[in-house]
Amino acid sequence: MVTTVPATQAPDWANAVLQPAIEFGPTPLTVLNGAVPPGLQGSLYRNGPALLERGGQRVKHWFDGDGGILGIQFANGTATGVYRYVQTAGYQAETQAGRFLYGGYGMLPPGPWWERFKHGPKNAANTSVLALPDKLLALWEGAVPHALTLDTLDTLGLDDLGGLDGAAYSAHPKRDPQTGEIFNFGVTFGANGVLNLYRSDASGTIRQRGQVPLHGLPMIHDWVLAGRYMVFCVPPVRLQALPVLLRLKSYSDALTWQPQLGTEIIVVDRTTFEVVSRSEVEPWYQWHFGNGGELADGSIVVTFVRYPDFQTNQYLKEVATGRTQTLAEGTLWRLRLEPTSGKVLALEEMVNRSCEFPTVAPAVVGQPSRYTYLSIHRQDVELRHAIFGAIARFDEQTETLTVADLGTHRYPSEPIYAPDAVDASQGWILTVVYDANANRSEAWIYDSDRLDADPVCTLALPAIVPPGFHGTWQSQ
């Protein structure tokens, strides 16, 4: 049976999205069911929009909410949680003023046209996190990251990583599990876009930079590490720069879907940052990749969630209103590519269900991998009105999808894999759940091989944590 939300009734998930998040300091978490696995030793960090309204005004896009970071530290069968807003300069100024002052991804600065040039866009620090040995980075792809303390999540300030020189650092870095190196990118705009490439050591300090010229001003959100290569799929979304420069349109509203351009695939040598190949294929849009790797025959394989067009941006805009009406269905695909020519050897759909946020175990990043973990829609909902109500694991070897059924009116975040500190063959899947039945947020822990069984532990959080975007795991 499909659940249809009447136009006059907000869906129950809106309560978690629209309410300003409430901070809490380090707090022992209450076990609701089960027990924290003894081998779960480390910290889960998550980021997402935590404040969507000021002075009676609401942001125009979900991407514009101020970032809030959740940290949960697991040690010796216990869990301690902390939740803090990232104290960006924009957040502090707007808190003091009691109203919005800045523009963002989907909103213009407030006030008459001639006052819109007072401030640049606000660094919302709301998209993802990168855990380093001595700090946590709150990432927002349009600017420099913010550094926070790992334990109490106090904001330390902007962090140039020893070499950004003020350039953007995306929200999707990839860490090579064998070398510890961290690779990332950022896009800068001029007459055309430029793809900036970064290689950092394990501490996060940038050791190498490169540049790749882009055609026009494209939207690039994520990329994939595949063995010796960095792979970028550039969808046919282009920015109309003039309306943005004149403060007549927000960045989001100035993005146009141009399918006639096709999707460009750029393969870069990760050692030299030289372009190996550039090729054009059929048009699609993607926010996120699952993983990539080199196969024995020298080809590379990439998994990603594919959308037929850019309607997903409209859907995400509507999330900030608490009511969604736009159908934007992405499904899991696999691309196999010959890297030196850019020739597509295979392009196939693997999971024909609406899903997002594909993740893999940290130990297999950049290598061929068997399992992909996903956020996925329940089958008893109308997609245009729903956010994700389940998580799942796709087994590429058996082509089997295993879904964790959390029950109705529960909304889990992106699944994060945490390796067991004692048993290398054991892993855990962590997700933060808004339970609308009880109007509270919880942390759920699953056995990674038994998502279709009950969670091994559920923990109550002291306050509602709004659904967010990305997280990471840091082992002790």
Residue 7 lies in a domain: no
Choose among 176, 290, 169: nearest CA to 228: 176
Residue 119 lies in a domain: yes
| Alpha carbons 213 and 238: distance in angstroms, whole number | 15
Per residue in 254-306, pLDDT (tens digit) is 999 999 999 999 999 999 999 999 999 999 999 999 999 999 999 999 999 99
Q: Do you know the residue count of the chain?
A: 476
- In percent, the amount of the chain with pLDDT more than 70 equals 98
Residue 25 lies in a domain: yes
**Averaged over 242-261, what is the pLDDT?**
96
| Alpha carbons 446 and 145: distance in angstroms, whole number | 31
Contacts (Cβ under 8 Å, ≥6 apart) of 152: 25, 26, 82, 84
Residue 48 lies in a domain: yes
β-strand partners of 209: 198
Expressed as residue numbers, the domain containing 379 is: 14-475
Per residue in 106-117, pLDDT (tens digit) is 999 998 988 899
Choose among 213, 246, 227, 235: nearest CA to 292: 227
Q: Is pLDDT of 3 > 90?
A: no
> How much is the pLDDT for 59?
96
Q: Is pLDDT of 104 > 80?
A: yes
> How much is the pLDDT for 9?
74
Q: Is pLDDT of 4 > 50?
A: no
Contacts (Cβ under 8 Å, ≥6 apart) of 384: 315, 324, 325, 326, 327
Q: How is residue 91 written in tokens? A: 């957040």
Per residue in 181-238, pLDDT (tens digit) is 999 999 999 999 999 999 999 999 999 999 999 999 999 999 999 999 999 999 999 9
Band of residue 120 on the pLDDT scale cut at 50, 70, 90? confident
CATH number at 185 reads 2.120.10.30
- Looking at every residue in the chain, the average pLDDT score rounds to 96
Give me the number of domains the chain comprises. Answer: 1
- Full-model pTM: 0.96
> How much is the pLDDT for 6?
43
Residue 5 lies in a domain: no
Residue 135 lies in a domain: yes
Phi-psi region of 278 (alpha: psi -120 to 50; beta: other; left: phi over 0): beta
Contacts (Cβ under 8 Å, ≥6 apart) of 242: none
Helix (H, G, I), strand (E, B) or coil at 66: strand
156-to-2, 58, 86, 150, 290 alpha-carbon distances in Å: 47, 28, 9, 11, 31
Band of residue 5 on the pLDDT scale cut at 50, 70, 90? very low
> How much is the pLDDT for 10?
85
Per residue in 299-344, pLDDT (tens digit) is 999 999 999 999 999 999 999 999 999 999 999 999 999 999 999 9
Residue 1 lies in a domain: no
> How much is the pLDDT for 7?
45
Residue 381 lies in a domain: yes
Per residue in 145-173, pLDDT (tens digit) is 999 999 999 999 999 999 999 999 999 99
> How much is the pLDDT for 1?
33
